[in-house]
Amino acid sequence: MTGTTPPAPHAPAAPPPGLAGELALLPPSCGPVRLIAVDGHAGSGKTTFAAALAAALDGAPVLHLDDIATHEELFGWTDRLLSQVVAPLRDGRPARYTPYDWTARAFGPPRLLPPAPVVLVEGVGAGRLALRPYLARVLWMEFEPDAAWERGRLRDGPAQRAFWRGWVAAERRHFAQDPSRPYATQLIQQGQKGYVVSPGPAAPRGTPGIARSVTEGEVRQGG
């Protein structure tokens, strides 16, 4: 939340069947696009996981909600996302959005987002009510909120302490009013050697309840 996040790296080849393959086979949800939300508390590892998943999806585009939010609109960015990103993708056209620079406190030059088969939307609130009609799936990073926020504070350093105080209060209010986790099909936990993927609250009835371990390499390869 302190700057523009770089794009995720591209994978050199198509992944074998796994988490990425499962997502790629979902019905399109936003025009020709399968829009996948990667949601969770700030500091829970969404950006890192989304980068690995994008690589497993052969370089799927990633939209970072840090580029859509602003200091004044930590969560009030729905209309901007719908008009700049969702509407054109729904029509099969490239989206053109203006990423926010958290240091300059201003929007930068436009950036294109192609209507790829799968597009990841990564950030706090990605699974919000207003976006769910356009989402093929919600993935939730399962991480205890206080621990996630502390990790985020350590990452951003002392200069961002005041920002984090305001952020935590705003995030609590957002999820109290518009929770995402109940609508997650899969929960993603970061383990010592990679990730654990387990059924979420919105998983279809009968989905096995045993978590399956996925290493970071396996996520990148489709798992």
The predicted-structure confidence for 66-125, as pLDDT tens digits, reads as follows 999 999 999 999 999 999 999 999 999 999 999 999 999 999 999 999 999 999 999 999
Q: What is the pLDDT of residue 17?
A: 39
pLDDT value at residue 204: 86
pLDDT at 7: 37
> What does the chain come to in residues?
223
Within 8 A by CB and 6+ apart from 128, the residues are 78, 174, 178, 180
Alpha-carbon span 47 to 127, nearest angstrom: 15
CA distance 96 to 52: 24
Question: For 20-42, how does the pLDDT look when each residue is reduced to its tens digit (9 = 90+)?
Answer: 999 999 999 999 999 999 999 99
Considering only residues 6 and 69, tell me which one the structure prediction assigns the higher pLDDT. 69
- 207 pLDDT band, cuts 50/70/90, is low
- 160 pLDDT more than 50: yes
Alpha carbon distance 155, 161 (integer Å):
11
Q: Which helix (H) or strand (E) holds 107?
A: strand 106-107
45-63 mean pLDDT: 93
Q: What is the mean pLDDT of the chain?
A: 86
